[in-house]
């Protein structure tokens, strides 16, 4: 019997354990992204408040702002893309799958980051004006009158920014996976 065989089995088990841990972390973070973007979308859709000021009913709804509607669409699309990415990660876990397909996962994550950052930025700009107003243009702050509406918008934006952080983490993980697998491929090529 070859005395190197147990050492090779240990290395193989170690590699399998690392791969399993990587896949579990990938799936876990993707599920967190789905939950955060879904929470951001649901919170945005439920953000409506009506108040009476000097006998005049003032309505505040996310549908009144194109930036808030864009953020809702961005949250929904990224949530859908994240569900799709969970399916892709599960399919990449098969034994005979090509690890170079992580490139497409990297692209999907990058598109998701860009879309979500743009939606959050647009909503944050309008949220800032709603909170503090802008004296030069005559826009008054409304958050002192519709506090519940502003709070829900803030929670929605914060939830989406947390999803952005998770997506950046996933992008770095996918890039690292591509880089480490390319070195492993070159190493295998030299040994053969």
Lowest mean pLDDT among 22-31, 53-62, 179-188: 179-188
pLDDT bracket for residue 93 (50, 70, 90): confident
pLDDT at 190: 37
C-alpha 50/C-alpha 7 separation (Å) is 70
Model confidence, pTM: 0.83
- How much is the CA Rg of the chain, to the nearest whole Å? 23
- Per-residue pLDDT reduced to its tens digit, 138-182: 888 878 888 888 899 999 999 999 999 999 999 998 888 777 765
pLDDT value at 189 more than 50: no
C-alpha 112/C-alpha 115 separation (Å) is 5
Averaged pLDDT of the chain: 83
C-alpha 46/C-alpha 109 separation (Å) is 27
Which residue did the predictor score with more confidence, 24 or 99? 24
**Residue 144 φ/ψ, nearest 5 degrees:** -75, -15
The residue ranges of every structural domain in the chain are 5-191
- Per-residue pLDDT reduced to its tens digit, 32-86: 999 999 999 999 998 877 777 788 887 878 878 889 999 999 999 999 999 999 9
């Amino acid at each position: 019997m070859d005395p190197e065989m147990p050492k090779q089995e240990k290395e193989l088990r170690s590699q399998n354990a690392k791969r399993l841990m990587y896949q579990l972390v990938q799936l876990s973070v993707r599920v967190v992204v789905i939950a955060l973007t879904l929470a951001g979308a649901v919170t945005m859709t439920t953000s409506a408040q009506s108040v009476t000021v000097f006998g005049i009913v003032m309505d505040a709804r996310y549908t009144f702002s194109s930036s808030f509607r864009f953020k809702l669409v961005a949250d929904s699309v990224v949530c859908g893309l994240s569900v799709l990415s969970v399916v892709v990660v599960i399919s990449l876990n098969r034994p005979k799958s090509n690890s170079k397909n992580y490139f497409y996962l990297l692209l999907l994550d990058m598109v998701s980051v860009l879309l979500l950052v743009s939606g959050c930025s647009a909503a944050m700009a309008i949220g800032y004006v709603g909170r503090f107003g802008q004296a030069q243009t005559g826009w008054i702050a409304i958050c002192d009158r519709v506090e519940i509406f502003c709070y829900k918008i803030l929670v929605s934006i914060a939830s989406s920014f947390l999803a952005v952080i998770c997506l950046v983490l996933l992008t770095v993980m996918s890039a690292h996976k591509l880089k480490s697998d390319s070195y492993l491929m070159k190493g295998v090529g030299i040994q053969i």
